[in-house]
Amino acid sequence: MRIRTKGQGQELAMLLPALFFIIALIVTPFLLSVWFSFTDQRLVPRPIPTKFIGTTNYERMFVDPLFWQAIWNTVVFALIVTPVQLAMSLGAAMVLNSAIPFRGFFRSIAILPLLLPMTVIVSIWAVLFRIPAGPFNAVYQWFAGQGNYVDFLGNPSTAMLSVVALSAWATFPYQMLIYLAGLQDIPQDLYEAAKLDGAKPWQRFRYITWPGLRNVNIFLLIITTVGALKLFTQVDILTKGGPNGATTTIIHYLFKQGYATQKVGYASAVAVFFFLAVTAIALLQRRFLKNEGEA
């Protein structure tokens, strides 16, 4: 196939600034990471030269149980948080798109989490999770009796679910706003016609709303999944990857290797693996989920 460039000089010129930044800020760092991943590069200067060590970093990475635990935790987090967050977002968007009283006020309230930095949100949730008498445990004690509490963050079986709950709440308004825009794009006469035909609310959702949001769903599924795979801030502040690695994610693992123990070469191998894995997942999602009108 021959790419037609004649007469497109102006368009190409307009692409140049974006192309420059993509090459400088994405392509070049990635290529450097690939190179570093085959060396024993360290974070700080050292008197012995950096050596090319072949695939040693990759070999060590693949036999490190903590690496696989981080992969597992990241996948579990993404598999849980993505549907939960999308369901929350869609539900909230549908409520805020309906004719409820004070709709403008509630729409403003709903995007509040987006206005707070993640570090602040996590600090607030750390207090909510506190034992033995934090707000969540106060609710728990209402049912389970005084003196009982759950160490949400200290128990390996509840720590990841706690991070899921916090993460879903903290970022769902972004998806909600996109769903809201998607809902407003669906022609109202479709709903009116369906009502005249006697369609129930569930049927209207099933046959009008859901298909009408197809493109929005595909977009949100991809960005929410990729965002979930990059989980770091919540874990680093709230649990530091614990207890016993129960909330260690791949980015947290990468950070500890590259920054805390200064092994930039090894961390680069993890970064390259992560980049390829996320790209593969995003491509697979695009392969199986076609936009409306695509073949």
Partner 1 sequence: MNRILYSGVALATCMMSSHALAGQLTAWVIDGDSEKPYFTQLQETFNAKYGAEGITLNVVPIPSYNEAIQAATLSGGLPDVIMLDGPNMASVAWAGTIQPIGDLLDPAILEDLLPAIKAQGTYGPQEEFYFVSPYDSGTILWGNKAMLEKAGVRIPTSVDDAWTRAEMGEALAKLAALPEVEWPLDVKMNYGAGEWMTYGFSPFAQSNGGDIIDRQTWTAEGTINSDANVDTLTTLQDWNKAGYIVPASAGDNKFYGEKTAALSWVGNWMWPAHREGLGDDLVLIPPPAFGEAGPISANGGWGWAVPSSSSNLADVKVFLNYAMSSEQVAAYADTTGYVPSRASAIPLSKTYGEGGAGELFAKLAACCAVVRPVHPAYPVITNAWATAVVNVLSGDVDVKSELDRAAKTIDQDIADNDGYPPFGQ
CB nearer to partner 1: pick between 82 and 247: 247
Q: Is residue 262 near partner 1 by the rule CB under 8 A?
A: yes
The span from the CA of 54 to the CA of 52, in Å, is: 6
Which of 173, 182, 212, 241 binds partner 1 (CB under 8 A)? It is 241
Report which of 229, 206, 208 is spatially closest to residue 285, judged by C-alpha positions: 229
Helix (H) or strand (E) holding 233: helix 233-238
Site membership for partner 1, residue 253 (CB under 8 A): no
Which positions ≥6 away from 277 have C-beta within 8 Å? 229
Give 41 or 225: the residue with its C-beta nearer to partner 1: 41
Span 145-164, contacts to partner 1 by CB under 8 A: 151-154, 156
| Cis amide prior to 132 (ω within 30 degrees) | yes
Residue closer to partner 1, measured from CB, 151 or 208: 151
CB of 59 to partner 1, least distance (A): 12
CA neighbor of 269 nearest in space, from 35, 2, 15: 35
260 binds partner 1 (CB under 8 A): yes
Q: Rank residues 51 and 103 by Cβ distance to partner 1 and give the closer one.
A: 51
What's the one-letter identity of residue 223? I
Identify the residue among 18, 44, 99, 112 touching partner 1 (CB under 8 A): 44
**Which of helix, strand or coil describes residue 21?**
helix
Residues that bind partner 1 (CB under 8 A): 32, 36, 40-48, 50, 127, 129-132, 151-154, 156, 240-245, 256, 260-264
